[in-house]
Amino acid sequence: MPTPMDFFPYPEPRQFQDELMHRIFTSDAMLASVPTGVGKSVSALCAFFADRLPGEKIVVLTRTKSQARIFLEETRAIAARAKKPLLAVHLRSKQEVCPVFAGEEVGYEEFLQLCKLKRNCEYRRRFRERLEDISLLAAELGRENMEKGEGLTFSRLLEFGCPHAVLLELARFADVVIAAYQYLLNPFLRSTFLGKLGISLPEILLIVDEAHNLQSMDMLSKTLSRRTVELAAREINYDFSGILKLFEGNDERLEAGDLISVREAEFLYQRGVEVLERRLLRGRKVSYTYRVALFLDAALKLGREENWVFYRQSGKLYLKPLFPSELLEPLTEARKLLLMSGTLSPVEMYRALFNLPHAETYSLPNIYRNNLYYLGIKAGLNTSLAERQSRGEELWKSYASVIREIYEATPNTTLVFFPSYDVLESVRRYFKALPEPRDAREAERFIREAKSREKKAIFAVAGGKLSEGVEYTVEREEGKESVVGSVVIAGFPFPVPDFEMELKRSLFEERFGATRAFMFLSFLPMMNKVLQSAGRAVRSSRDRACVVFLDDRIEHLRHFPEDIRYEIKLVEINELGEEVRWFHSIRR
């Protein structure tokens, strides 16, 4: 029987890496909290390849394209090392790779309907013509991986027709299939996805990467605004008054079946398709009627399930799943299951939230912990509602003053993470810094500016675009080096106590009790945002940084990872600047 090291593509394992591979190899189900730097992606792949039986596939669920690229690259490296023609396929969004509707700002479901309406699509025709050649393409790509050849480019995909259809067909022959969470978590997509692969869950070895994202499942939620319904009323001759009434009144839970009829949803769906078809002929590709119909259809179907809630909040309608365990339960049928993340901590708490009592848990310390200096405050600042109400602007002035001292004591860039945009802007009135852009289209440009070597203060939101999956590094001769010298957590980012939170709290308390409900709904999301934010500073053994917790609710630190709760130094607020300056004055 092969071992994980038979597939390991590098000269020697990093610290803890051989142990990690062995634990994954011998486990059927595991939750692993593995910080940055250990090499969890290649470790998981090597362990899975060593344990894989004939006819089985490795499926990797990821949240971002950057994470998917890592698994593609590691599979190619493993193929070259093992001298085996291994193929990995990344199933990107159909809308993202479509050459016909590229750049169109339409919803995904709307795009799918537009795709169906494009009956004379040349790419679908080409795919049908070349379908029998795709098995040959798969074999060729596998050999190229083994020989470190060209690989699969977009132009090469187009030669065989519709890129998404080609990728799906290639996935039937692939050893590793990389896809978004929704492919297996969405109950409607799961059976279709497995059917396309020609495989069942017991024949899958499943890796869920960055599994901390599964705690909320907001990626599966749906929203409808009053404005969308009003625009739909301009498209067709129909009385929308009954639907518009759904937006009136206080925040409350709704029962879709009592408010919407199946006949009405079906009628609006058909009219929405007709609008799309007419507009497509005129070069327009949006139907608000179609968007309304899709939401109502989902509310009727999912609203009947216990794990979904349909409610009104702040004049909008929402449809969201409740318990992650209900959506994860089908995945336990996989022959091998690994949920991993750099911030899946406390891992035992995630095992309880995901209801995986028979899964093993495995945690590793931060291998760069000696390069980090954790500081906290004994008293004087926090962003709780009570503090905001009692101190007003004085609170934000105090935060700005302390952040300025830390910035001045840091020789390079200081990253400051706030609980919300409102808090960020309140503090920025008293200390000017580069603020995180709210427009996602500006994020890429901003990140390039943030990664430059010049010293700067950057204000961002914990859980926002700049706190996860971004490396603030520059290339040097000896490798990448972080430009960040200090990370400031300017207030613990607990979720906002709105109607949705209260609704979930009552339902979670029924199932788990008050203490666990608080931990699952408030503490876990808060700590994960903090750990993700803190992880932006040190990305290699060459980096050093201070991480400062500017929140005196220190009772919460007892649940943080050991390298934080045992090594954090609590000081008076007026001592922070000197502590940061001292740390950065020490030579390694």
Instruction: For residue 66, name the pLDDT band (cuts at 50, 70, 90).
Output: confident
What average pLDDT does the chain have?
Answer: 91
* Mean pLDDT of all residues in 88-104: 85
Instruction: Look at residue 106 and tell me whether its pLDDT is greater than 90.
Output: no
Q: Distance between CA atoms of 45 and 340, rounded to whole angstroms?
A: 12
Q: For the segment 298-350, what is each residue's pLDDT rounded down to a tens digit? A: 999 887 888 999 999 999 999 999 999 999 999 999 999 999 999 899 999 99
pLDDT cut 70: percent of the chain above it: 98
Instruction: Look at residue 588 and tell me whether its pLDDT is greater than 70.
Output: no
Q: For the segment 225-283, what is each residue's pLDDT rounded down to a tens digit? A: 999 999 999 999 999 999 999 999 999 999 988 888 899 999 999 999 898 888 776 66
The pLDDT value recorded for residue 305 is: 83
Higher pLDDT, 444 or 291: 291
pTM for this one? 0.91
278: phi then psi, degrees, rounded to nearest 5: -65, -45
Q: Given 3-state DSSP classes, what are the helix, strand and coil percentages for the chain, each rounded to the nearest 5?
A: 50, 15, 35
Instruction: For residue 208, name the pLDDT band (cuts at 50, 70, 90).
Output: very high
- The Cβ of residue 56 has, within 10 Å, a number of other Cβ atoms equal to 18
What domains are there in the chain, each with its CATH number? 18-216+324-363 (3.40.50.300), 219-321 (1.10.275.30), 369-585 (3.40.50.300)
Q: Distance between CA atoms of 144 and 87, rounded to whole angstroms?
A: 9
The pLDDT value recorded for residue 587 is: 63
Question: Which tokens hold the place of 586?
Answer: 């020490």
Instruction: Look at residue 582 and tell me whether its pLDDT is greater than 90.
Output: yes
Nearest to 181 by CA among 48, 97, 59: 59
Instruction: For residue 426, name the pLDDT band (cuts at 50, 70, 90).
Output: very high
Question: Which tokens hold the place of 216?
Answer: 């909320």
The pLDDT value recorded for residue 429 is: 96
* Mean pLDDT of all residues in 379-402: 96
* Mean pLDDT of all residues in 68-73: 92
Q: Is 548 helix (H, G, I), strand (E, B) or coil?
A: strand
* Mean pLDDT of all residues in 173-186: 94
